[in-house]
Amino acid sequence: MNVSILLIILLTGAVATYLAGNKWASKVALLFSVGAFAATIATTLSFVNGEAVSYIALWMKTPKIYLAFQADGLSLAMALLTTALTPLIILSTFRNNFENQRSLYALILFMAFAMAGTFLSVDGFVYYIFWELALIPIYFIALIWGNGNAEDRKRAIVKFFIYTFAGSLFMLVSFIYLYTRTGSFLNISLYRAFLTPNQQLWVFLGFFAAYAIKIPLIPFHTWQANTYQKAPAVGTMLLSGIMLKMALYSIVRWQLPIAPLAAKNYMYIFVGLSIAGVVYGSIVALKQNNIKKLLAYSSLAHVGLIAAGIYTLTIDGMRGAFLQMIAHGFVVVGLFYVADIIERRYNTQSIDEMGGIRSQSPKFTSMFMILVLASVALPGTFNFIGEFELLYSLAQANIWLAVIGGTTIILGAFYMLRMFQRVMLGETNARIFADVTFGEGFVLVAIIAVLLVFGLYPKPIYDFVTPELVRLSEYVNRFN
């Protein structure tokens, strides 16, 4: 199956959604997002059966740029995450009354198109275009449909845009430099580029500037919490569930195989920065009274652990990272959706103004509890599998890194369970909390099903991503 069909469906869907008008926009967007998910599954089945699932065509002669897309275990895993979460995110908005719905849903599909293109591209220049394209729709989604005071929202979103765009320019410079050395932007050519240790370091840092901001890592994180808070729930779910995974994926796909010597020589610095994010995010989350900010800092801690595992340069660390990226994508979307459901009913993000929901909606309470337990990596949930492999990879590098990194589980359990207690238990709030609707319950049950099924049986994903990680590790470890 031609892998570009997935991108065509999403791009066509964005245009069709806009042309459908406000009345039908959400339904058309949902239809095309489900179609994209079906196309990704079909591509995955073709890949498993050994059929070609790549596409390449010359786009420009000078410089030589190819429209080159490839579906392997890693890119398909992230494409499946993108196309599985997109219809759930769209469905989660059906209870909201947005102005200019056709623009909003068109932007959501266009963002999914750009993110899928980022995961599937194997030409560095085309990859960079998709990387930047993904920034445009989330900027407008957060700016136009976001929360709070307009000036505060504008300040937070513009800061996010400038930070991420500026960091990406360093990555572009790295790609241009690599082209002067190889005459190609194709990843396989860049992997084989002969670079001195000093050249590798500068190329590595160029990529790091883009990825550290997007993830984000300490000290490049200052845009995150305010942006997550000010963005609408749909924007926060797209950012946390999928968009930040673009950077984590790209470390494995681009940064490490191209500049492995720099990664090896300075491994402990980058692992240390990642672990610092785990500790910092966990401590700051303890002090939050705003539920979206608490979840934002919790996410900062979790993605810090993912980055730390990747930078150990072990197959266990990289495999654990992909398992955890998928698990985190589903659980964080579920948690932010829960926060949105509560905010719509109580019209507040303040934890102090919540409470007593359990007595009014036991089903909602049960679903929320499962998501909280998955977030803190309870055995039997998908998050436990990923975090175990990540901590194991850190232990291989240094046992103290694993001990410090494990604080995300201990502190995470404390602040998440305390948050659950304050939000759901206690005295009944004076305001009535309406029970979850069928649509709300469907989204939450679908997310929980993924977390439990792959928590009990992660082997399909484990086997799916491992062969490509083994292949890439030959480039990453070629100087050992």
Residue 347: both structure tokens together: 């019209």
Phi and psi angles of residue 183, each rounded to the nearest 5 degrees, phi first: 75, 15
Q: Is the pLDDT of residue 444 over 90?
A: yes
Nearest of 126, 158, 114 to residue 246 by alpha carbon: 114
Query: How would DSSP label each residue in 262-287?
Result: HHHHTHHHHHHHHHHHHHHHHHHHHT
State residue 412's pLDDT score: 85
Q: How far apart are the first and last CA of the chain?
A: 38
**Banded model confidence at residue 19, pLDDT cuts 50, 70, 90:** very high
- Burial of 151 (C-beta count, 10 Å sphere; 0-12/13-18/19+): exposed
Contact predicate 292/368, CB 8 Å: no
| Mean pLDDT (whole number) for 420-445 | 83
CA pair distance 353, 82, nearest whole angstrom: 34
| Mean pLDDT (whole number) for 424-442 | 79
State residue 354's pLDDT score: 85
**Banded model confidence at residue 1, pLDDT cuts 50, 70, 90:** low
Q: Which DSSP symbol is given to 434?
A: P
State residue 52's pLDDT score: 60
| Mean pLDDT (whole number) for 75-93 | 95
Beta bridge partners of 121: 69
Q: Which DSSP symbol is given to 53?
A: -
Radius of gyration of the chain (CA): 21
State residue 134's pLDDT score: 94
Contact predicate 32/13, CB 8 Å: yes
State residue 384's pLDDT score: 93
Average pLDDT value for the chain: 90
State residue 317's pLDDT score: 93
Residue 250: both structure tokens together: 């790209």
State residue 112's pLDDT score: 96
Q: What is the pLDDT of residues 59-77, one digit of tens each?
A: 888 889 999 999 999 999 9
Query: SS3 helix, strand, coil % of the chain, rounded to 5?
Result: 75, 5, 20
Q: Is the pLDDT of residue 358 over 90?
A: no
For residue 321, how many C-alpha atoms fall within 13 Å in the half-sphere facing its CB? Answer: 32
State residue 480's pLDDT score: 60
| Mean pLDDT (whole number) for 178-193 | 92
Could you tell me the pTM of the whole model? 0.94
In percent, the amount of the chain with pLDDT more than 70 equals: 98
| Mean pLDDT (whole number) for 72-90 | 95
| Mean pLDDT (whole number) for 470-476 | 88
Q: Is the pLDDT of residue 262 over 80?
A: yes
State residue 242's pLDDT score: 93
Contact predicate 308/274, CB 8 Å: yes
| Mean pLDDT (whole number) for 360-384 | 92
| Mean pLDDT (whole number) for 20-47 | 93
Where is average pLDDT lowest: 233-242, 296-305, 426-435, 440-449?
A: 426-435
State residue 430's pLDDT score: 62
| Mean pLDDT (whole number) for 227-234 | 88
State residue 429's pLDDT score: 62
CA pair distance 197, 265, nearest whole angstrom: 9
Contact predicate 252/307, CB 8 Å: no
Q: What is the pLDDT of residues 381-427, one digit of tens each?
A: 999 999 999 999 999 888 988 888 887 778 888 899 999 998 888 77
Q: Is the pLDDT of residue 282 over 90?
A: no
